[in-house]
């Protein structure tokens, strides 16, 4: 028996991680693809007249178990991978792409979809059904349903190559990150590094059977070193190693892979009748066109550049006092921290003891309770994929009973939440929210979602719990905002549920929640010293609130640089015929560069967001969503940050997923369209 092809015999049919063997995956994918194809054949061969129910709905609910197994596999390949899992991924990805292409190019199926679409007036469809019909039809057209057979075959081949190459890109970045570490044997080389971080470096060395200390390129190791290490040469060495990730001409170099990926995307766009890949992507986004995106980014660049220049001048003055005539990018974090300390009397290490991970998690859970009535109960008996992972039942006040065994039988079960906080060799860098199972309603049952948050926070040591920097605090709130989007989902169809929204709308819930971290009223409830329980002093809390916009100009230009580079990669790919990746990158980020560039480094070869993740021609979404989140939080600020009426309206926006146009959803919540002035006011006063 293959555990992956059976109905999971676990509470809430959660993923049976402890029973899955790597050898289960390939046979399971093949069997479940076959089963899903049989479901599609059933829709196609149905002799009855095509209707919304027997075509569009039937298609939306098809392949459920295949989706669940795909989610399990690819989530583990990001959070707990191995050489064996990566090899399986290389085999599975083209199989799944071929299956997807087979469906989207099924002429008989599309004929039925087209018939329902063109006769939609005769069906009494609600908003969500209308959206599902429109999205289904458009999805098929955008996947090549209108192409001739020869072009369909070309598109299928391109899609398969893209799936394999994007996977390889991510594997190269992970391998390149893991291949470097700096072994330090002299304590004086670590001057300036706080004790807690020193302990972390010592633990890393111990794990590698080395004496002294080890610094890696993992975020919780690299960033504190760049922030506090007084040894400038070592900062330079670490920065060089970080900037060379997949850009050193070695085994894990991604430069040629980038060109191949971009060429394939351009070919795909042209086959489907678009000028370039950005045109193809943005047709389905709020922004609609590359021109509108570029105008938006350049408008912000014009507004933010003077502030950024002023910030860098302040850092230059500090560096000059230390005898540094030309400040470099690898000096930025060090002198920014000095300036922050001088301006606000704050530094991350001073704040860390007040933000133990368990307290920050309790705070974000408490916020979800206050705004949306959610409670979280840990389940120690549910299967997990790693001992670091914790699993929570999420409840909401209601009448329907939860599963037997729950400590809150009077509560309405809302979701499962997995949290996975610490870096490991098999986990990719960064932080993300994902799902193992989407929410949907079928046959009178509301099937609830299984959501996951994955981060790379500072690990606990034998003497100290995990203590977060303030930036890590905001990261947890950010990912939890995404998780709320998933957990509160309440739609009919899995394809419109939770975060299945326009990509430039998806960051609103995450960035919105970060705002609470800067509110003194809220901070006082959880910023407490892990040893003494002492609340962070009022003046420090006030300084945190005041420091919200610290280096905002610099951060804005950095994000705009990424966004402009992404947009140019996906509109001007032909330029790469005569340019290196480095030349292209430097050319299109020049206007946002605040430090001299280094010929030995480039960020594009490790820019996983756009070459592995879903942000191709979409990185601008972060700044776009900042306009939304600034405007939305302004609404709360004007009426009280815990205002129950506004929270209820916001909950409706979250629970609606992709069932309506995002601007309609936003206007229903806010009463008007978002104003870019809200962002400018928050950022620059």
Q: Active-site residues: which are they?
A: 479
Q: Indicate the burial class of 615 (C-beta count within 10 angstroms; 0-12, 13-18, 19 or more).
A: buried
Instruction: Say how far residue 499 (Cα) sits from the centre of its chain.
Output: 11
Beta carbons within 8 Å of 12's beta carbon, 6+ residues apart = 403, 413, 416, 448, 450
Closest CA to 67 of 655, 659, 479, 495: 495
Are residues 332 and 498 in contact, defined by beta-carbon separation less than 8 angstroms? no
Are residues 553 and 310 in contact, defined by beta-carbon separation less than 8 angstroms? yes
Eight-state DSSP code of residue 615: -
- HSE on the CB side for 149, CA within 13 Å? 0
Beta carbons within 8 Å of 50's beta carbon, 6+ residues apart = 112, 113, 115, 116
Closest CA to 547 of 471, 637, 647: 471
Beta carbons within 8 Å of 372's beta carbon, 6+ residues apart = 396, 484, 488, 647, 651
Strands 411-420 and 440-442: unpaired
Eight-state DSSP code of residue 345: S
Are residues 658 and 131 in contact, defined by beta-carbon separation less than 8 angstroms? yes
Please state, as a whole number, how many other Cβ atoms lie within 10 Å of the Cβ of residue 403.
11
């Amino acid at each position: 028996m293959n555990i992956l092809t059976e109905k999971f015999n676990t509470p809430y049919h959660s993923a049976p991680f402890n029973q899955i063997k790597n050898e289960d995956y390939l046979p399971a994918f093949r069997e479940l693809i076959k089963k899903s194809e049989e479901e599609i054949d059933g829709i196609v061969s149905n002799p009855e007249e095509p209707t919304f129910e027997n075509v569009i709905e039937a298609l939306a609910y098809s392949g459920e178990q295949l989706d669940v197994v795909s989610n399990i596999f690819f989530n583990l390949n990001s959070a707990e991978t191995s050489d064996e899992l990566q090899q399986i991924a290389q085999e599975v990805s083209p199989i799944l792409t071929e299956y997807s292409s087979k469906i989207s190019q099924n002429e008989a199926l599309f004929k039925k979809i087209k018939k329902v679409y063109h006769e939609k007036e005769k069906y009494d469809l609600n908003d969500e059904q209308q959206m599902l019909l429109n999205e289904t039809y458009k999805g098929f057209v955008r996947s090549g349903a209108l192409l001739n057979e020869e072009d369909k075959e070309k598109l299928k081949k391109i899609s398969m190559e893209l799936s394999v190459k994007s996977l390889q890109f991510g594997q190269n970045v992970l391998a390149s990150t893991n291949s470097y570490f700096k072994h330090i044997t002299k304590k004086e080389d670590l001057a300036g590094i706080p004790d807690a971080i020193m302990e972390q470096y010592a633990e890393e060395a111990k794990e590698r059977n080395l004496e002294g200390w080890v610094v890696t390129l993992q975020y919780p190791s690299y960033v504190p070193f760049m922030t506090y290490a007084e040894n400038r040469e070592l900062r330079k060495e670490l920065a060089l190693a970080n900037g060379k990730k997949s850009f050193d001409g070695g085994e894990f170099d991604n430069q040629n892979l980038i060109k191949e990926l971009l060429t394939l995307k351009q070919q795909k766009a042209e086959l489907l009748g678009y000028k370039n890949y950005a045109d193809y992507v943005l047709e389905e986004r709020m922004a609609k066109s590359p021109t509108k995106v570029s105008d938006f980014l350049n408008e912000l660049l014009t507004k933010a550049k003077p502030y950024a220049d002023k910030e860098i001048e302040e850092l230059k003055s500090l560096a000059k006092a230390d005898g540094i005539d030309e400040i470099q990018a690898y000096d930025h974090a060090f002198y920014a921290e000095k300036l922050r300390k001088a301006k606000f009397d704050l530094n991350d290490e001073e704040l860390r003891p007040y933000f133990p991970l368990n307290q920050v998690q309790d705070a974000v859970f408490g916020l979800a309770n206050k705004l949306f009535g959610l409670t979280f109960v840990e389940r120690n008996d549910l299967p997990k994929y790693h001992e670091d992972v914790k699993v929570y039942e999420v409840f909401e006040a209601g009448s329907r009973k939860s599963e037997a065994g729950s400590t809150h039988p009077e509560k309405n079960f809302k979701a499962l939440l997995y949290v996975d906080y610490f870096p490991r060799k098999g986990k990719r860098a960064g932080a993300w929210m994902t799902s193992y199972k989407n929410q949907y309603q079928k046959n009178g049952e509301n099937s609830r979602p299984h959501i996951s948050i994955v981060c790379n926070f500072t690990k606990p040591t034998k003497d100290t719990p995990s203590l977060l920097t303030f930036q890590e605090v905001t990261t947890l709130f950010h990912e939890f905002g995404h998780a709320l989007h998933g957990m509160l989902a309440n739609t009919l169809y899995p394809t419109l549920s939770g975060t299945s929204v326009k990509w430039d709308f998806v960051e609103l819930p995450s960035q919105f929640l970060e705002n609470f971290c800067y509110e003194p009223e809220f901070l006082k409830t959880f910023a407490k010293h892990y040893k003494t329980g002492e609340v962070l002093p009022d003046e420090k809390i006030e300084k945190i609130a005041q420091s919200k916009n610290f280096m905002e100009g610099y951060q804005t230009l950095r994000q705009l640089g990424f966004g402009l580079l992404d947009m140019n990669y996906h509109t001007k790919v032909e330029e790469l015929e005569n340019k290196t990746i480095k030349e292209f990158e430097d050319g299109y980020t020049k206007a946002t560069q605040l430090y001299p560039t280094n010929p030995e480094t480039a960020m594009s070869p490790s820019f996983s967001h756009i070459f592995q993740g879903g942000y191709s021609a979409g990185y601008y979404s972060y700044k776009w969503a900042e306009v939304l989140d600034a405007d939305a939080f302004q609404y709360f600020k004007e009426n009280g940050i815990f205002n129950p009426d506004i929270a209820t309206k916001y909950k409706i926006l979250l629970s609606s997923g992709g069932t309506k146009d995002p601007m309609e959803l936003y206007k229903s919540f806010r009463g008007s369209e978002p104003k870019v002035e809200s962002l400018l006011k928050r950022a620059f006063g």
